[in-house]
Structure 1
Amino acid sequence: MSRIARGAGAFGLAAVVSFAITAYGQGLWGPLVLANLRLSPAVPWAPPLMALLLAGLLLYLSGRGWPASTSTARRRLLRWNPMPLSTFALAVGSGLLALVAFAGLWIAVSDLVHIPPGVQPSAAGIPLATAIPILLMSSLAAPLSEEAAFRGYAMGLLEKAWGSAPAAIVGSSLLFAAAHFPQGLDAAKLGLYFTAGLLFAAIAYLTNSLYAAMVVHGLGDVIGFTLLWPHDQQAHAMGFGDALFAPALAAIAIFAPLAILAFRRLARASKALRDPRAERPLSPAPVAA
């Protein structure tokens, strides 16, 4: 088999595996939320049920369950590796700087090129005691399942098959963007998701762990739920006619350079974590002394 065919086969396998994981994590949460809101909106039963389902998914992906022959491979692909607390804090801080710049980029793009609004359930008429747990779980379900799917399994499979971390980062980010086509089959919007995928993948690669990437992804979803997606759904003026356009440009100009400097520092601080000779046991805790 040619090298190109093997590479394409690895990309296909990564797509199937990552989409299956995402379909479980995201595909179950959507119907659960709708059922909760239609059947008993005053009782937030969907979030705890989804928490149990996610726990089962992550236990399996971390090597538990059948078949035992794939247990070690599943543990490695999940990339739940510990890191020093200082590195974890630096990774999350770097991601936050990048998120501010990314939020500015999203708003700027939506003010220059019309992008279709995403699918977001309306919170109108939902009791606060139900809305808050649903929002929190919505900000957890995607980071946990999507990081495991794309920055864990897909990126790991591609890096092993292609022998190139940058190529694996790009490949997994393409898959991440493709998985968001239900939010709008639009080149500009999928390009934004691809950019977000690069951000999360860079954190996962530099730290050789999903913990910081999951936190940053979750914070990004909070920004999406509260600012970016509502902005897309509401009619607004384009360009400088939108009150958020100038602040968005300022956010890009200020926070993008700061994020680049922070990521350069993170790359230096986490160099030992990426050493293939440093075999470290997996731990359920995100940080280790």
Structure 2
Amino acid sequence: MDGKRLSDPTRFAPEPAVEPLETLPWWIVLVPLVPVASSYLVIAGGFVAHQGADPGFPENVEFLVMGVASVLVLAALFVWWDRETWRAAVPVRRPSIRELGAGVVGSGVAVGLLWPATNVAVAAIGFSPRTPAGASTTVGLVAVVFGVVIVAPLAEEMLFRGILFGYLLSRWGRISAAVGGSVLLFGIVHPGAAGVLFAVLSGLLLALLRIRYDNLVGAWLMHALVNVSAFVMAIGLLPATY
């Protein structure tokens, strides 16, 4: 390893950062899907247990389940992997001012441009627009804050732009292929046509931040600001851009 960063314009390739990931099993690509799969399983299990009747789950329980599952998945990987593999899979270091600024700008582009454009596009072909998750109960509010505002930005960046991107890059050897694969899976875990399209487009910006700075902090900041913006718009503290 020569120790150069991804941000070095003379060497725009992160192979040294992902060498330990080459030995991971193929099913590691399924790990980022575990949180959303867990929520579907819990909800489906509730309906099966009640023979198809409404199981009476609390409002926004799916976000609570996804948040808990994300924490457990990352904790398990942290314990299972040696520190070299973990650092390769989850590159987190002190960010530069430029990286933080890029994260803020990226969030503005996502909320102010991509979100409304996505809703216009899907509405034009007959699909429902994407609206942020709100809450009418205390439990529902806690579920959204925990699962969407706090856990999701950090966990999804570690899982998709960290572990999944790094593994695909180590196996395929091409940044474009790794970005494409990780962005497509990122889109799949978001419900609805508008949700998938917005996730894919914003996922491309998040991937660019990850690659440009060889770090997850800028991408996490952008993701967090997008989710926080959606939440405060949903509860009426900011005018909606969607």
Compute the TM-score of the two structures, normalised by the length of structure 2.
Answer: 0.64
The percent of aligned pairs where both chains have the same amino acid is 21
- Which residue matches 2:93? 81
1:164 equivalent in alignment to 2:188: no
SS at 1:82 equivalent: coil
Q: In structure 2, which of residues 207, 214, 220 is the aligned counterpart of residue 214 of structure 1?
A: 220
Q: Contact 2:161–2:210 (CA<8 Å) still a contact in 1?
A: yes
Deviations 1:240-279 (A, max 9, x none): xxxx9xx87xxxxxxxxxxxxxxxxxxxxxxxxxxxxxxx
Equivalent pairs counted in the alignment come to 200
- Give ranges in structure 1 of 5+ residues lacking alignment: 1-9, 229-243, 249-289
Deviations 1:34-60 (A, max 9, x none): x9x94777xx9x96x977764444344
Highest Rg: 1 or 2? 1
Q: In structure 1, which of residues 197, 200, 205 is the aligned counterpart of residue 203 of structure 2?
A: 197
1:1-289 paired onto structure 2 within 5 Å: 16-23=27-34, 25-28=35-38, 31=42, 38=56, 54-61=70-77, 64-66=78-80, 68=82, 71-84=83-96, 86-99=97-110, 100-116=112-128, 123=135, 126-127=136-137, 129-139=138-148, 140-180=150-190, 183-184=191-192, 186=193, 190-224=196-230
Query: Hey, what's the Cα distance between the residues in 2 that align with 1:134 and 1:172?
Result: 26
Q: Sort the Cα spacing of 1:22 and 1:227 in 2 relative to 1 into closer, same or farther, 3 A.
A: farther
Q: Contact 1:115–1:189 (CA<8 Å) still a contact in 2?
A: no
Q: Sort the Cα spacing of 1:207 and 1:38 in 2 relative to 1 into closer, same or farther, 3 A.
A: farther
SS at 2:126 equivalent: coil
Query: Hey, what's the Cα distance between the residues in 1 that align with 2:29 and 2:132?
Result: 23
Q: Contact 1:176–1:194 (CA<8 Å) still a contact in 2?
A: yes
Q: Sort the Cα spacing of 1:195 and 1:120 in 2 relative to 1 into closer, same or farther, 3 A.
A: closer
- Give ranges in structure 2 of 5+ residues lacking alignment: 1-21, 47-54, 235-239
Q: Contact 1:173–1:197 (CA<8 Å) still a contact in 2?
A: yes
Deviations 1:208-260 (A, max 9, x none): 122221232233234455669xxxxxxxxxxxxxxx9xx87xxxxxxxxxxxx
SS at 1:65 equivalent: helix
Deviations 1:50-106 (A, max 9, x none): 777644443444xx32354xx42232111223222x134212222123212112212
- What is the CA RMSD across the aligned residues, in angstroms? 3.9
1:156 deviates by 0.7
Compute the TM-score of the two structures, normalised by the length of structure 1.
Answer: 0.55
